[in-house]
Amino acid sequence: MLLIRPIKPSDYEALYQCAIESGHGFTSLPVDQSLLERRIDRAQKAFRKENVETPGDESYLFVMEDTETGTIAGVSGIEAAVGLDEAFWHYRLGKVVHHSEKLNIYNALETLTLCNDYTGVSELCTLFLREPYRHNMNGRTLSRFRMLFLAQFKQRFSDWVIAEMRGVSDDNGDSPFWTWLEDNFFSMDFPKADYLSGIGDKTFIAELMPRFPIYTNLLSDEAQAVIGKVHDNTRPALKLLESEGFRFRGFVDIFDAGPTVEAEVCNLNSVRNSKVVTVSVKEQVPEVEAAVPHIVCNTQLENFRATKLLLTEGADELILDNEQAEKMHLSDGDDVRIVAL
């Protein structure tokens, strides 16, 4: 069974390996021992925190564990509210019109303006599935279970949620968009800037980033071409989020110009289509005809568990055997939240 659960300190080595494998441009998972240990500690505190009525600085980090081998297959996270402790930067795409009626000249020019518009919203982040497990809808499960977590614990999150998608960069970690910024405003390469941002050292952004709107037609052709575009490896993740109802509204990353997509939590497909059913624990689970893969989550916080199971479409009861129930921290009569994959 592939079981999704809150991260714990003993998962550090696996998290560090995921950071290495994720490569350049994965800002929320830098190869930095101190930061990764802090992320684990923050997550532990978030899952233990009781009586949360409004979203704050809580950071929820999960791992997907192969229970047969103990191997960590991937990692996934949710930030309750971004930008509360430090500025959360984006570029907002806009337009400026230069018009002279007398000269019969009209130019509508695209601009990039530095902003903090997403301050306070929740964020889906740190989604990474290791190569051997990229099959059998595991990636879809590792991403979509977070929608059920948002639905179950909605008071802990904003009404709106975003996801920053990795922008275009090459195998060496070089970004065409950052190359233009580096040439004109900075003196550091993209991997270093991305790393500094990932470990929380963001003062250089306010100090060096251009404060006034940038006309995109002043950028190099290569930089213009990647604004709002995603890394090839990120296309499946973007497609999945779009199927949930996420949309691009013109906000891009300040380093690689990758798109940030947004959605209202109550309108997410997995939230709207999920439902709560009752657990029945039996010695043996009967075979299910016309079974459909479902994501199944318990309704606990500190002992949260999620997995993928085959269920009858429209089922109003979840039948588990004793082993499954134990792994999911469930007993006969408990509630679970489910949604079809």
Q: Reduce the secondary structure of 176-230 to three states and give it as a string.
A: HHHHHHHHHCCCCCHHHHHHHHHCCCCHHHHHHCCCCCEEHHHCCHHHHHCCCCC
* Per-residue pLDDT band at 216 (split at 50, 70, 90): very high
The token pair that represents 188 in the structure block: 């550091």
Query: Where do the domains of the chain lie, and which CATH numbers do they carry?
Result: 2-91+114-273 (3.40.630.30), 274-341 (2.40.40.20)
- Is residue 98 annotated as part of the catalytic site, yes or no? no
What phi, psi does 255 have (nearest 5°)? -100, -50
Among the listed residues 57, 132, 66, the one whose alpha carbon sits nearest the alpha carbon of residue 88: 57
Among the listed residues 198, 276, 205, the one whose alpha carbon sits nearest the alpha carbon of residue 38: 198
What mean pLDDT comes out for the span 125-150?
A: 95
> Is pLDDT at 201 greater than 70 in this prediction?
no
Phi-psi region at 102: left, alpha or beta (left = phi > 0; alpha = psi -120 to 50) = alpha
> Is pLDDT at 174 greater than 90 in this prediction?
no
> Is pLDDT at 307 greater than 80 in this prediction?
yes
Q: Which residue has the higher pLDDT, 190 or 34?
A: 34
* pTM check: above 0.85: yes
Do 154 and 55 contact (CB within 8 A), yes or no? no
Do 144 and 293 contact (CB within 8 A), yes or no? no
> Is pLDDT at 204 greater than 80 in this prediction?
no
Of 24, 90, 231, 294, the active-site residue reads 231
Share of the chain above pLDDT 70, in %: 92
Q: Which residue has the higher pLDDT, 311 or 144?
A: 144
Do 259 and 252 contact (CB within 8 A), yes or no? yes
* Per-residue pLDDT band at 24 (split at 50, 70, 90): low
What mean pLDDT comes out for the span 173-202?
A: 72
pLDDT at 209: 75
C-alpha torsion angle, residues 214, 219, 221, 223 (rounded to 10)? -80
Share of the chain above pLDDT 90, in %: 70
pLDDT at 199: 55
> Is pLDDT at 197 greater than 70 in this prediction?
no
* Per-residue pLDDT band at 134 (split at 50, 70, 90): very high
Give pLDDT tens digits for 225-237: 999 999 988 899 9
pLDDT at 85: 87
Alpha-carbon gap, residue 112 to 35, rounded angstroms:
30
pLDDT at 143: 96
pLDDT at 184: 79
> Is pLDDT at 264 greater than 60 in this prediction?
yes
**Residue carrying the six token digits 């595991």:** 138
Q: Which residue has the higher pLDDT, 171 or 296?
A: 296
